[in-house]
Amino acid sequence: MMSQFADSIRNVRDYVRLPLLYDHWYVAGLCEEFDRTPKARTLLERSIVFYRTLDGRLVAAQNRCLHRSFPLAEGYLEGDELVCHYHGIRYDPEGTIVRIPSQKRCPDRKLRTYPIVEQGPFVFIWMGDQDEPDFSRLPDLPFLSDSGFRTFHNSHHLDGSYLLMQENLNDLTHFSYLHRDSFGFDDSFLELPTTVEETPEGASCYRVDNNPARATGALPPDIQERIAGRPAERWDGGLAISPGVFKGYAPIKVGDPEAEDREIFSQYIMHYVTPESSTTTHYWWSISNDFGVDNDAYYEFMALTIKHGFDEDAWAVDHMQKVLDNDNFDYQELVIGGDKAGLLFRRIVLGWVEAEYGRTQATATQD
């Protein structure tokens, strides 16, 4: 039996129109964004209201009063009850109606609520069945809360599909062109050894640079001075571990691999892409390093540099989506050698879509 979605991964125009994937964890925002003032955010084409209870627990619920669809984020809190500003209907943190001003009995109705987990500076939300969140799919990112790491982060709203950004993250070729000025890559980067493979954790793509000067160039100056003259290598790439999370790991390894004094400077480059709609995306990123954690000047410089580069990625995604939306010319997509990791991720996405929506007979048949 052939999947009705199988042909969709052959062309980016159809690929980005695949149905949204709900049975996963996505970043909903920063922990610091949510307080006692109800706040609305649209995730996967669902409007959700966020607020904190008196004891600090974060609640995520359907942002739509069950009476006349008034947005509950325009309401207010009294204690832990969310009050609709239109007719005063009150909901508890579990979404249950607890009071209707014009009547004594409340119907047995509840708002849809969403499981929430806070990790480091980020709020993760389960968008699937609210009664059966799959915690095995929650990304394990202990470095976000580890005092041995220093984490900085930022965000960008994309006028493009989250799948376009995931393709960008799985593509190492564009480093030498889109990021030539921001990150300083040149054509020599394309000649480095590359590995692309499917692992139990996700789609993996890496390039390894054994040139000591280039490999250690992103380290703080005092560390560069200390390790000067030693062999070194840097890994660039990462793992697409879910529809909404790309886990970049770019360690810098200094010293002979067999030497006891070999040092590894760990750097996690995280990307969180949460669909707002099929053509717009909430995009957050974070960098977590276990080196130079007290060097404020270094991190101020790095935050600006990284933002510049990731803004270039957002710029590219926005432009691709605009062409896909507005150019109706029929074309056959060109596939190049650098697409290997992106095509692998497309096949993984296809598997997630089939698991969530089921495999059905395609309208077209094969000979």
Position 159 in a domain: yes
Residue 367 has pLDDT above 70, yes or no: no
pTM for this prediction: 0.93
Residue 79 has pLDDT above 80, yes or no: yes
Position 39 in a domain: yes
Domain check: are 53 and 182 in the same one?
Answer: no
Residue with more model confidence, 189 or 93: 93
Domain check: are 209 and 353 in the same one?
Answer: yes
pLDDT at position 180, please?
85
Position 155 in a domain: yes
Domain check: are 324 and 214 in the same one?
Answer: yes
Position 204 in a domain: yes
Position 363 in a domain: no
Residue 185 has pLDDT above 60, yes or no: yes
Which of 90, 113, 136 terminates a domain? The answer is 113
Residue 238 has pLDDT above 70, yes or no: yes
Position 10 in a domain: no
Supply the mean pLDDT for the chain: 93
- As for how many domains the chain has, the answer is 2
Domain check: are 184 and 68 in the same one?
Answer: no
Position 362 in a domain: no
* Percentage of the residues of the chain whose pLDDT score is greater than 70: 97
Residue 350 has pLDDT above 60, yes or no: yes
123-136 average pLDDT score: 96
Opening angle at CA 116, ends 111 and 118, nearest 5: 150
pLDDT digits (tens, 9 = 90+) for 266-312: 999 999 999 999 999 999 999 999 999 999 999 999 999 999 999 99
Domain check: are 257 and 316 in the same one?
Answer: yes
Residue 90 has pLDDT above 60, yes or no: yes
**Can you give the CATH number for the domain in which 88 is found?**
2.102.10.10
Counting every residue, how long is the chain?
367
Domain check: are 177 and 233 in the same one?
Answer: yes
pLDDT at position 259, please?
84
User: Any bridge partners for residue 203, and if so which?
Assistant: 198, 240
32-59 average pLDDT score: 98
Domain check: are 104 and 252 in the same one?
Answer: no
| Residue 2 tokens, joined | 């052939």
Residue 85 has pLDDT above 90, yes or no: yes
Domain that holds residue 59: 34-113
Q: How confident is the model at residue 2 (pLDDT cuts 50, 70, 90)?
A: low
**Can you give the CATH number for the domain in which 153 is found?**
3.90.380.10
Residue 88: how many other CB atoms lie within 10 Å: 13
Residue 198 has pLDDT above 80, yes or no: yes
Which of 66, 93, 113 terminates a domain? The answer is 113
285: three-class secondary structure by DSSP: strand
Domain check: are 247 and 301 in the same one?
Answer: yes
pLDDT digits (tens, 9 = 90+) for 95-129: 999 999 989 999 999 999 999 999 999 999 999 99
Task: Of 152, 149, 173, 167, give the one whose Cα is nearest residue 284.
Answer: 152
Residue 365 has pLDDT above 70, yes or no: no
**DSSP-assigned letter for residue 346:** H
User: Any bridge partners for residue 47, and if so which?
Assistant: 42
pLDDT at position 359, please?
61
| Residue 203 tokens, joined | 């789609």
Position 122 in a domain: no
Residue 361 has pLDDT above 90, yes or no: no
| Helix ranges (DSSP H) in the chain | 12-15, 162-169, 212-215, 221-227, 296-326, 340-357
351-360 average pLDDT score: 86
